[in-house]
Copies of this chain bind each other. A is one copy, B any other.
Amino acid sequence: MVGHDKRVTQQADNMAGQKVQRQTGVALWRQIADRIRTSINHGDFDDTGMVPPETVLALQFGVNRHTIRSALAALAQEGIVRAVQGRGTLIERKERLSFPISKRTRFSQGIGDQVRETRSVLLAATEEAASTELARQLNIKNGTRLVRLETIGQADHRPVSRATSWFPADRFGAIAEVYRTTGSITKAFRELGVPDYVRVTTEITATHADEGDLADLQLSPGAIVLVTRALNSDLDNVPVQYSISRFAADRVRFTIEN
């Protein structure tokens, strides 16, 4: 028996306590894979660095060992665990970046101390007319020209978010080029005459990953993404950026400090 029954209070119910649900449209192996992934990220197996043996997991979850193996195979596919015959299933990677949201929310600063390198990659830049919704958010007239950027945020070469951002084209028509060279929205704003900006509103929802998420964020099907819709304004309270970002839910944690 490995070290499971030790930390009774905080963890036991995370994995062992609750049974999986049958005939819900979500396969047992996927439910179990999600639960194990969460437990790993929660640090439940940090003492051994290994997942409990398949037979133990099968007993805990009340399923056949083959079902456990399917779940572990999925996690191995994600690169989270690695099974070694005769020894056990080792934890390869665990991560859930803490992501502060405040007036000064920026991608790189917030998680800078948790990873070695943060980077932002520009996928595409286009220009378009503001839709009704975007015009309302950015407080501009319907049809105003906007620059739209598609970006991916990386931490230690691992994608954690993909975002679509809109900027008023009259002020920030050149933001794509500037952003491409600086690799930072903050720096791009600075070069375009916006020394500082603040987060005005952030809206958070959750949904299942779509095809774009799977590709860009290297997620496994069925994963959850946290979706934020955020508005940034300059120091004169003029909106400068509206963004829709999608985060891999099992890799991030939002924290709001007041």
Binding site for B on A (CB under 8 A): 1-10, 18-19, 21, 23-27, 29-31, 33-34, 38, 74, 96, 98, 101-103, 123-124, 128, 131-133, 150, 164, 198-208, 210-216, 220-222, 224, 226, 244, 249, 253-258
Q: How far is the CB of A214 from chain B (nearest CB, A)?
A: 8
Taking a contact as CB atoms under 8 Å apart, the answer to whether B18 and A210 are in contact is yes
Given contacts A150-B4, A253-B203, contact A26 B208 (CB under 8 A): yes
Using A5-B124, A25-B74, A27-B25 as known contacts, say yes or no to A258 and B207 having CB atoms under 8 A apart.
no
User: Do A211 and B2 touch across chains, with their CB atoms under 8 A apart?
Assistant: yes
Assess whether A226 is in contact with B204, with CB atoms less than 8 Å apart: yes
Q: CA A50 – CA B72 in complex, angstroms?
A: 42
Partner of A25, one of B1, B29, B128, B132: B29
CA distance A213 to B9 in the complex (A): 18
Contact residues of A: prevailing secondary structure: mixed
For the complex of A and B, list the 7 residue pairs with the smallest distance between their C-beta atoms, beginning with the closest: A3-B212, A25-B30, A24-B221, A25-B27, A206-B206, A202-B256, A204-B254
Would you call B21 and A211 a contact (CB within 8 A)? yes
State in angstroms the CA–CA spacing of A257 and B199 once bound together. 8
Additional pairs, 15, CB under 8 Å, beyond known A25-B74, A200-B257, A202-B256 = A10-B132, A21-B211, A21-B221, A24-B222, A25-B26, A26-B222, A27-B27, A98-B203, A201-B255, A201-B256, A201-B258, A202-B255, A205-B226, A205-B249, A205-B254
